[in-house]
Amino acid sequence: MVGDPGPYLLLATILFVIGAFGVISRRGAITILMSIELMLNSANLALVAVSRFLPAAGQGAGIPDGQVIGFLVLAIAAAEVAVGLAIVIAMFRLRESVDVDLARLLRW
Amino acid sequence: MTALAAVAIGVVSLQWVVLLVIAAVAIAGALVVVLHRSPVVGAMGLVTNLLCVAGIYVLLNAYFFAALQVIIYAGAVVVLITFVIMLLNLRPEARGGPGLVPIGLAVLLGLALIVVLGRPLLEFSAPTAEAVAPEFGSVRQVGEALFTEYFYPFLAVSLALLSAMVGAVLLAKRHLED
Amino acid sequence: MDLFLVVATIVKVALVVVVVISAVPVLTWVERRGSAFMQLRLGPNRVGPLGLLQPLADGIKFMFKEDIVPPFVYRPFYVAAPAIAFVAALLAFAVIPFGGTLMIDGREIPLVILDLDVGVLFLLAASGMGVFGIILAGWASNNKYSMLGGLRSSAQMISYELSLGLALVSVLIYAGTLRPTEIVEQQIGGTWNVFPLFVGFVILLVSAFAETNRLPFDLPEAETELVAGYHTEYSSMKFSMFFMAEYINMITGSALVTTLFLGGYALPFQRSVFEGWLGLEGNLLAVLQLASFTLKVGFFMWLYVWVRWTLPRFRFDQLMRLGWKILIPLALVHVVWASLLVMWGVPA
C-alpha cells in the first residue's frame, strides 16, 4: 500500500497546473471549460486522498468528509458546465465562433 | 518468514507500479486536453484523465466516489461537452495561438505553482494511518455524512444546481418571448 | 488470494462472456423469425433446420467481408469506437447476479462476477461509457448521416439516463441497498418490486428501450432517414461489433429490469413452494434459479422484438417530449411514492 497521501497530492498538483495552463494559453471557450474541469477534478483527487489517510473515529484510517466535499464539487462542476455551455452556444450564435478573444465587448 | 516478507514487498511495489501507470496516463490525458487543437480529441483526453482518476479512487478504496466520478463526470459532463462541440461543428483551432511570450509565462507560472504547492504537500505531516477502516468509501458512510453534518452545504448545492439549470435554459433560448 | 476463488472467478467470467456473446446470434434468429411470424412471412428457413444455422452463416460472412476504412475518417477514433461500445456493453453485465449460491466441494460460489457494494452504480457507469462508442463513431466517420446519428444518440442517452436513474433511485430507496444480490434476496424474502413499484418498472423499461437505441426509439440509426446512422461507414467485423454491442446492451437491460423488479434469479413463490413445500435447497435450487433468471431475461428479449415490429418510430421532438415532460416528472413523483412506502414501513 502506498502509505501516505504525498504521491496523490503531487499528482493532483500536476493536474491542477496543467488545467491552469490550459485556461491561460487556449482561446477556444470549450477547451477552457474542459481545463477548468481538470482543475476541479484535481482538487477532488486531493480531497479524497487526504480523507483516505486521516485516522477514522473507530479503528483504521479514512473519514468521509473528503468524499462529501468532493461530491459537492462534482455537483458544482456539473452546474458550471451547463451554464458555461449555454453561454458558449449563445456566443456562437452571435459571433459564429467560440474564440474568447472575440467576446470582449460588453454589448453587441 | 522471508517468503512472506518478499510477497509483502512484492505487493507494495505492485501497488506503486499500478499507481504510476495510472498517473502517467492521467497526465497524458490532461496534456491532450490543453495541447491538442481539435476539441473532440481534447474531450477524449479529458475522459481518459477522468477515468484514470476514478481508477486512483478505487486504489484509495473510495469505490462510491469512483462510481460517481465515472457516472457524473465521464458519463454526463463530457458527453454534454462533446454534444455541444458536435452541435456547433467546431473545427480545430487555428494555429498561432496566443504567441510564445504568454505561453512561456504560463509554463513558468505552472512550474512555480508546482514548486510552491508541491513542497508542503510532500511534507504533509498530519497523523495518518495506513490500514483502511472497513466502512471507508461505502455508500452508507458518505450518505450519512452528507445528510447530517453536511446537510446545509448539500441544500445550498441543490439550489445552485437548480438555478444553474434555469439559467442554462434561459441562456440557450433563442428568443425570450416564446 | 485463494487459488480456488481465482479459478472459480475465471470460470464464471469465461462462462458469462461465452453465453452472452453466443446469445447474440440466437437473438438475431429470434428477431428475424419473430418478425416474419408477425408479418405472415416465412423468414430465413434455408440454412439448417428452421433456418437455425442462418446466424452462423451471417457470422462467417461478416468475418470474410472486406474491412473498408474510408479515407476521410479520423482513424484512431474510427477504429476505437466499435471496441469501446463492445467492451462497455460486456462490462456492464458483470454486476448482474444470475443465480443463488452454488456449493462445490463444500465451498460457496455466489453466481455473480462482481458482487459490489455499489453494483447498480457500476452498471450505470459502464453503460454510460458505451455512449462514447456511438458518439465517436458518428464524429470520426466524417459523414453527415453518421454525425446526425451520433448527435441524436448523445441527446437521447443524456435525456433518458435521467429517467432511468430516477427509476433506479426509487428502487434503491425501497430496497435500502445498492448491492444487486441484496436487492434480489430482499425480493425473495418479500414481494417482487414490480408490485409496489409498478410505475418505476414501466419507466425503467421505456428508458432501457431508449438507452439501447431500439425501436420505437431507434433514431440514431433510423435507416429511412439516416441511411444507417452512426455506423453508416462501418463494415465487416467493426460493424458486427456495434451490432453485438446493441444486443448485449439489450440483454443487460433485460437483466437489470429482471434483477430490480422481477426478483432476479428468484423462483416465483420460492420460500413457500420451492423451499417449504418441495424442500429444495443447495445446488438443485441454484440451477433452478439460473433457469428462472434465463426465462425472465428471455421474456424481455422477446418483448424487445415484439415492440419493434408493433410500434412505429417516434419523431425526435416526440422522443424529447416523452423523456423530459412525461417520464422525468413521473419518475420524480414515483421517487416520492417509494419514500412514502419506506416511511410506512412497507419493505420487510
- Shortest CA gap C29–chain B (Å): 33
All domains of chain B in start order, with CATH: 2-90+134-172 (1.20.120.1200)
* Residue B159 pLDDT > 90: yes
Which residues fall within 8 angstroms of residue B42, CB to CB, at 6 or more apart?
A30, A31, A34, B32, B33, B34, B36
Q: Which chains touch A (3 or more CB pairs under 8 A)?
A: B
Banded pLDDT at B39 (limits 50, 70, 90):
confident
Instruction: Give the C-alpha separation, A42 to A40, whole Å.
Output: 5
Chains B and C make contact, 3+ CB pairs within 8 Å:
yes
Lowest-confidence pick of B135-139, C5-9, C25-29, C111-115: B135-139
Strand partners, B128: none
Least confident of A36-40, C172-176, C286-290: C286-290
Counted domains in chain C: 1
Mean residue pLDDT across chain C: 83
Contact in structure between B59 and B15 (CB atoms under 8 Å): yes
CB C186 within 8 Å of CB B125: no
Which three cell numbers mark C296? Answer: 425472465
pLDDT tens figures, A85-103: 888 888 888 777 777 777 7
Classify residue A77 as exposed, middle or buried by CB count within 10 Å of its CB (0-12, 13-18, 19+): buried
Across the interface, which of A30, A49, A64 has its CB nearest the CB of B145? A64
Lowest mean pLDDT across A1-5, A64-68, C157-161, C295-299: A1-5
Q: What is the amino acid identity at position C208?
A: A
If you count residue pairs, one on B and one on C, with CB atoms under 8 Å apart, how many are there?
Answer: 66
When the pLDDT of each residue in chain A is averaged and rounded to a whole number, the result is: 82
Interchain contact B44–C (C-beta under 8 A): yes
In the prediction, which pLDDT does C147 show?
83
Mutate to test the interface with A, among B31, B84, B122 (most CBs of A within 10 A): B84
Is C28 inside any structural domain?
A: no
Residue type, B56: I
CA dist list (Å): B41 to A60, B93, C78: 42, 12, 12
pLDDT exceeds 70 at position A44: yes
Determine, for residues A83 and B167 on separate chains, whether the beta-carbon distance falls below 8 Å.
Answer: yes
**From the list A3, A21, A77, which residue is nearest B130 (CB)?**
A3
Hey, how many other C-beta atoms are within 10 angstroms of the C-beta on C41?
Answer: 11
CATH code reported for the domain at A6-102:
1.10.287.3510
Q: Which chains touch B (3 or more CB pairs under 8 A)?
A: A, C
Residues sharing a CB contact under 8 Å with residue C137, sequence separation 6 or more, in sequence order:
C77, C78, C81, C82, C85, C146, C150, C230, C231, C234, C242
What band does C146 get if pLDDT is binned at 50, 70 and 90? confident
Given a cut of 60, whether residue B127 has pLDDT beyond it is no
Tell me the per-residue pLDDT of C9-36, one tens digit each, with 9 for 90 and over: 888 888 888 888 888 888 888 888 888 8
DSSP C251: H
Q: Is residue C62 part of a domain?
A: no
Check CB contact of B142 with chain C, cutoff 8 Å.
Answer: no
Give the orientation angle of helix C3-38 with respect to helix C54-64, to 10 degrees.
110
Number of helices (H), then strands (E), belonging to chain A: the values are 3, 0
Least confident interval from C1-5, C172-176, C312-316: C1-5
Q: Would you call A103 an interface residue with chain B, using a CB distance cutoff of 8 Å?
A: no
Question: How many Å is the maximal CA-CA distance in chain A?
Answer: 62
- Helices then strands (H, E): number in chain B? 7, 0
Region of residue B96 (left: phi > 0; alpha: psi -120 to 50; beta: else): left
Sheet strands (E) in chain C: 101-104, 107-110
Contact at CB, B84 and A30, closer than 8 angstroms: yes
Cis peptide before B92 (omega within 30 of 0): no
| Identity of the residue in B40, B71, B138 whose CB atom sits nearest the CB atom of C128 | B71
Could you tell me what percent of chain C has a pLDDT over 70?
96
Count contacts between A and B (CB, < 8 Å).
266
**CA nearest to C130 within chain B:** B75
Q: How far apart are CA B166 and CA C268, in angstroms?
A: 47
Q: Which residues pair with C107 in a beta bridge?
A: C104
Contact B75 C125 (CB under 8 A): yes
Measured between beta carbons, which residues in chain A are less than 8 angstroms from residue B107?
Answer: 21
Is the predicted pLDDT of residue A74 greater than 70, yes or no?
yes
Q: Which chain A residue has its CA at the smallest distance from B112's CA?
A: A17
Query: Are chains C and A in contact at 3+ CB pairs closer than 8 Å?
Result: no
pLDDT at C335 over 80: yes
What string of H, E and C letters represents the secondary structure of A19-68?
A: HHHHHHHCCEHHHHHHHHHHHHHHHHHHHHHHHHHCECCCCCECCCHHHH
Q: What is the pLDDT of residue C64?
A: 84
Residue B141 in contact with partner chain C when CB distance is under 8 A: no
Confirm whether C160 is domain-assigned: yes
Residue of B nearest to C147 (CA): B86
Contact status, residue C217 vs residue C92, Cβ threshold 8 Å = no
Identify which of B74, B80, B138 has the shortest CB distance to residue C158.
Answer: B80
Q: How far is B39 from chain A (nearest CA, A)?
A: 6
> What string of DSSP letters covers B43-70?
HHHHHHHHHHHHHHHHHTT-HHHHHHII
Q: Which of B98-112, C76-90, C173-187 is predicted with the least confidence, judged by mean pLDDT?
A: B98-112
Residue C78 belongs to domain spanning: 67-343
pTM of the entire structure? 0.85
Q: Angle C198-211/C282-308 helices, nearest 10 degrees?
A: 60
The pLDDT of residue A40 is 92
At residue A7, the pLDDT reads 79
pLDDT at C1 over 60: no
Domain ranges for chain A, please list them: 6-102
Give contacts of C132 with chain B, Cβ < 8 Å: 44, 47, 79, 82
Instruction: Compute the nearest-CA separation of C36 from chain B (Å).
Output: 38
Q: How confident is the model at residue B3 (pLDDT cuts 50, 70, 90)?
A: very low
- The sign one gets for the Cα dihedral C94, C95, C97, C103 is positive
**Range with the largest mean pLDDT of B86-95, C104-113, C272-281, C325-334:** C325-334
The secondary structure of residue B132, as a DSSP letter, is: B
| Interface predicted TM-score of the whole assembly (ipTM), two decimals | 0.86
A94 shares contact with chain B (CB less than 8 Å):
no
Q: Is the pLDDT of residue B178 over 80?
A: no
pLDDT at B1 > cutoff 50? no
